[in-house]
Amino acid sequence: MTVSFGHIEDIAELSLIARTCTRCSLSDGRTNVVFGSGAVDADVMVVGEGPGQQEDEQGVPFVGRSGQLLASLLAEVGLERDDVYIANVVKCRPPRNRDPLPAEIDACKPYLRRQIELVDPSVVITLGNFSTKLLLRTTTGITRMRGVAYEWWGRYLVPTFHPAAALRGGERVTNDIRSDLRLVRSIIDGRISSGDEPQTNDVTVSVDQDEESSQMGLFGES
């Protein structure tokens, strides 16, 4: 059953609702619901995949090695971790860190949708395939989607690799994330704005938001 949190005006209230959520079977194995953290009025919002073991234990997203790398790469472009809002596609840890299932993503997406609406950032950064495919409603993988800022629901969306991929993939992946975060810096500094002519490293692409998808809203929900 589709649920909407459109009537919730306070992100702390939404977090309280999520804390006791049993909308999918990931609730069975969790220690904590990892709802989100950071500035609730942030200009930049980061959306990852799902909590790992340390996140599940602490109830905070991106506290493990991936989180440390993310914080360090954000700092390189002048963004402190506390200045951004960080959330995941699913709020409860999948067992043995497996990929979240479509039904679990579907059950959890109303929380993310309302988080984005309430934080209302200028730029959303999606980390990896799951958040990129969900928010851009695409089946194309992150390797082809990254490197570009998409105009998305009145803001920008910049997809990049998940920092866990950089921990596995080394300097090349890390440098690609660096490049994407420089794009984010350009947007928040006002060096890229809607209607600019695309340049090699400062590219904006409009996502097709046809009449049907406009009526349906973010991620195809009504």
Site residues (vs ligand SF4, CB under 6 A): 18, 21-24, 26-27, 33, 90-92, 104, 107-108
- Residue 79 · residue 43 · CB < 8 Å: no
Q: Give the shortest CB-218-to-ligand SF4 separation in angstroms.
A: 16
CB nearer to ligand SF4: give 23 or 81.
23
CB nearer to ligand SF4: give 34 or 145.
34
Q: Give the shortest CB-9-to-ligand SF4 separation in angstroms.
A: 19
Q: Give the shortest CB-20-to-ligand SF4 separation in angstroms.
A: 9
CB nearer to ligand SF4: give 18 or 164.
18
Q: Give the shortest CB-2-to-ligand SF4 separation in angstroms.
A: 12
- Residue 89 · residue 108 · CB < 8 Å: yes
CB nearer to ligand SF4: give 10 or 80.
10
